[in-house]
């Protein structure tokens, strides 16, 4: 069985690609399994500071879960498929480095849910987003009923899920589903530029910021603030903090380099 998820480590950037362009990168059991494995394995590469998740070809990030495969599932098989999809989302959310979804084309159903598990979503002006599951007799199963509400608000989430209609990139940007919109010709270069900007910063600080923002999202504010206090203090035990502040004091205009220690 040929791999359907490819991983390329390019300096501080990990490029993870779903490679089923003939199926519009639809998410079947194999894709879900390989995505989970890929993100688990990337944790053992300390040089990685940013991940970019994309789909092969120009037509789709991921057009959804594989309907041909799902049509044959029973109740328990469907529950396991959903659990496996959630596992992928959790691996992305708990990755020690930020993950960017680069969306060119369709990000529907499971594809939209996969993108929403990423820290940032940048899309081309050809992108289309949506949760059309109710038109197939099911509901979002990879986190769409939950992550979508957290990104765009409960009311807009209800509208998108109940109506099941896709929206274009401009509307996705307007409702804050995505973080930036570029022309199709610019998308790859712009996302690379953003990834390199992130990669230049202190990786422990970036990782701690990601962890605290994730963990503090659904807890009372005093608890979340204490998470920030603890992570802030932790950063002061790193070599990056010492060298970064020392370099700033010597010359605020000079770029600083960080070793991740």
The one catalytic residue among 17, 34, 93, 113: 113
Closest CA to 203 of 181, 235, 242: 235
Tell me how crowded residue 43 is: count the other CB atoms within 10 A of its CB: 13
In angstroms, what CA-CA distances link 24 with 37, 81, 84? 21, 19, 20
Indicate the length of the chain as a whole number: 261
Map residue 95 onto helix, strand or coil.
Answer: coil
Tell me how crowded residue 71 is: count the other CB atoms within 10 A of its CB: 8
133 given a catalytic annotation? yes
171 given a catalytic annotation? no
Token pair of 2, please? 């040929």
The one catalytic residue among 133, 171, 239, 259: 133
Catalytic residues: 113, 133
């Amino acid at each position: 069985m040929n791999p359907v998820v490819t991983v390329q480590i390019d300096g501080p950037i990990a490029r993870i690609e779903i490679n089923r362009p003939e199926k519009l990168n639809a998410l079947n059991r194999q894709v879900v399994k390989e995505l989970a494995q890929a993100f688990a394995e990337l944790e053992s590469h300390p040089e990685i500071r940013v991940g970019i998740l994309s789909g092969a070809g120009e037509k789709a990030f991921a057009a959804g879960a594989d309907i041909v495969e799902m049509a044959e599932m029973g109740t328990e098989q469907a529950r396991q498929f959903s659990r496996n999809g959630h596992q992928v989302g959790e691996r992305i959310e708990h990755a020690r480095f930020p993950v960017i979804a680069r969306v060119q084309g369709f990000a529907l159903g499971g594809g939209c849910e996969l993108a929403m598990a990423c820290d940032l979503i940048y899309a081309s002006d050809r992108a289309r987003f949506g949760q059309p599951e109710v038109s197939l007799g099911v509901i979002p199963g990879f986190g769409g009923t939950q992550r979508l509400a957290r990104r765009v608000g409960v009311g807009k989430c209800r509208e998108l899920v109940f109506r099941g209609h896709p929206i274009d990139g401009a509307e996705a940007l307007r409702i804050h589903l995505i973080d930036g919109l570029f022309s199709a010709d610019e998308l790859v270069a712009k996302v690379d530029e953003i990834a390199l900007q992130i990669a230049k910063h202190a990786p422990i600080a970036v990782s701690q910021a990601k962890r605290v923002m994730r963990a503090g999202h659904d807890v009372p504010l005093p608890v979340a603030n204490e998470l920030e206090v603890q992570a802030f203090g932790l950063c002061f035990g790193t070599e990056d903090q010492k060298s970064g502040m020392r370099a700033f004091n010597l010359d605020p205009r000079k770029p600083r380099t960080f070793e991740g220690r």
